[in-house]
Structure 1
Amino acid sequence: MTGVAESTVTAAPPWFTDLFAHRRWIRRVEPFPHIYARDVFVPEFYGRLADELARVRRERPEAFGAVASDYGTVGASLAELRDGPLALFLSREWHDLIARVMGVTTTGDVEGAVHHHRPRSPSGSPHNDLNPAWFEGAAPGPSEIRTVDPQVDLKTGPPIPEIFARETVRAVAVLFYFGNPDWRPGDGGETALYAHVGANPVPALPVPPLDNSLLLFECTPRSWHTFLGNNAAARNSVVMWLHRPKDDVLRRWGGDSIAQW
């Protein structure tokens, strides 16, 4: 089953609304609720994003580090890439658009990176992204965005009690695919969505990494997904998360639902 999710960017300032090619994204309910969109940005701005990726990969290879010991990708934090068009993804306008389309109340706290999977990367394991995340200081104001503070470990919180931090939980996952020209079916590198997991889980829906396309979903106990490897060429994407108060998750699903690191 599918439907149309209005991206509702018309209330935002012109510098933001003019970046979008259209405002009708597809809402799908299987294998779990998610939104998918093609041709998200106008060609000129998408070209700037792709050029920026190429520039950063060429001029700042040291910005890309291992994302996790069990995950075959390298990433560059969006917080370190704010001097160009990638800054859009850390704007309050982008945050509020995603939260509004998803219908999720969020805190203004954002984590994210540009991910680069090398050719023939291994597949990941299904996970739901319902993870805790710590952010320094008081909650952001209505026009602010808070990113991860270097002195606060995202997964475990502040190292000393004197540093005040808040525990949140990932609320919405955002994947924007770019820098993958000429991708064709059979090339690998899709994002797999699952209806259920267990022994030898089978993807219910592989989402292709087509340039200028977007995948959104609320992080819930059943938002199972992973990267499908064996990709013929490098796969690039922006991967980011919006967050919600921990109490919201406790009321809705209980504490056992939170996937600890």
Structure 2
Amino acid sequence: MTGVAESAAPPWFTDLFAHRRWIRRIEPFPHIYARDVFVPEFYGRLAEELARVRGERPEAFGSVAADYGAVGASLAGLRDGPLALFLSREWHDMVARVTGVAATGDVEGAVHHHAPGSPPGSPHNDLNPAWFKGSAPGPGEVRTVDPEVDLATGPRTPEVFARETVRAVAVLFYLGNPDWRPGDGGETALYSHLGTNPVPAVTIPPLDNSLVLFECTPRSWHTFVGNNATARNSVVMWLHRPKDDVVRRWGGDSIAQWH
């Protein structure tokens, strides 16, 4: 098990958590799983905010990727409510600490909505490049994706300075799925290896107020199972590390380029 929300964090942050210990699993690759992450009052606020945004701001949700069945609303546009927690430096530093990753303070993320019957995804490891505008954030700052910078390819104009990073930690927090039951589909599958028709080694159910997070490595293979009987909602986000760190550890060819 692993400690979270240590006393060094401010009370407003530590008081949001229902307990202080999450489960650290080794197989099929190192990941951390937790149930009942937040106290009921704060989880209720998160779920209500998701329902409000989906009801009042449907235009905030757009296609996530050509080969991905979800629509998403960027966390950067949802800073006026409780979902802003996921862009706080306190959350960033806690996730970096429990995974042992020296992250840069650069964060991307969104609320994802899979409609019932969404197609399954393809296994991937999330070890992708990501560009952020300006110099590295300071110790108390968080930098999100800037419109002047394409996340996958860098500055949109020559006069804009941006840094290339690589996704370092993936976080999936499940919320707004009260009707989900075993057999409904829509889990997150984790794989020990790939090949023809790979079989998941572990499936993570999209239970409300639960999460899974893991370091992005060449073998952190995962995907959305799909064929969900009910809608599946989640917060999906990434912390980042300098590209040089990845090159030194696994080589430049390990970085999964965007297509």
Give the TM-score normalised by structure 1. Answer: 0.98
User: Is the contact between residue 8 and residue 101 of structure 1 (CA under 8 Å) also seen in structure 2?
Assistant: no
The offset of 1:200, in angstroms, is 0.6
Aligned pair partner of 2:77 in 66, 76, 80: 80
Runs of 4+ off more than 6 Å: none
- In structure 1, runs of 5+ residues without a counterpart are none
2:137 counterpart of 1:140 = yes
Match of 1:206 in 2: 203
Aligned pair partner of 1:42 in 39, 44, 59: 39
Q: What are the within-5 Å matches in structure 2 for residues 16-165 of structure 1?
A: 16-165=13-162
Q: Distance in 2 between matches of 1:97 and 1:33?
A: 17
- In structure 2, runs of 5+ residues without a counterpart are none
User: Is the contact between residue 132 and residue 146 of structure 2 (CA under 8 Å) also seen in structure 1?
Assistant: yes
The offset of 1:142, in angstroms, is 0.1
Q: In structure 1, the residue corresponding to 2:51 is in which secondary structure?
A: helix
Q: Deviations over 1:131-164 (max 9, x none)?
A: 0000000000000000000010000000222100
Aligned pair partner of 2:254 in 251, 254, 257: 257
The answer to which of 178-187 and 36-45 deviates more is 178-187
The amino acid across from 2:233 in the alignment is: N
Q: In structure 2, the residue corresponding to 1:220 is in which secondary structure?
A: coil
User: Is the contact between residue 7 and residue 24 of structure 1 (CA under 8 Å) also seen in structure 2?
Assistant: yes
Q: What are the within-5 Å matches in structure 2 for residues 214-225 of structure 1?
A: 214-225=211-222
The amino acid across from 1:128 in the alignment is: N
The amino acid across from 1:167 in the alignment is: E
Identity %: 84
The offset of 1:218, in angstroms, is 0.2
Q: In structure 1, the residue corresponding to 2:49 is in which secondary structure?
A: helix
The answer to which of 239-248 and 9-18 deviates more is 9-18
Q: Distance in 1 between matches of 2:6 and 2:222?
A: 28
The amino acid across from 1:81 in the alignment is: L
Q: Deviations over 1:162-210 (max 9, x none)?
A: 1000000000000000000032110000000000011111111010000
The amino acid across from 2:33 in the alignment is: Y
Q: Deviations over 1:16-35 (max 9, x none)?
A: 11100001000000000000
Q: In structure 2, the residue corresponding to 1:175 is in which secondary structure?
A: strand
User: Is the contact between residue 187 and residue 232 of structure 1 (CA under 8 Å) also seen in structure 2?
Assistant: yes
The offset of 1:9, in angstroms, is 2.8
Match of 1:235 in 2: 232
Match of 1:170 in 2: 167
Q: Distance in 2 between matches of 1:29 and 1:58?
A: 39
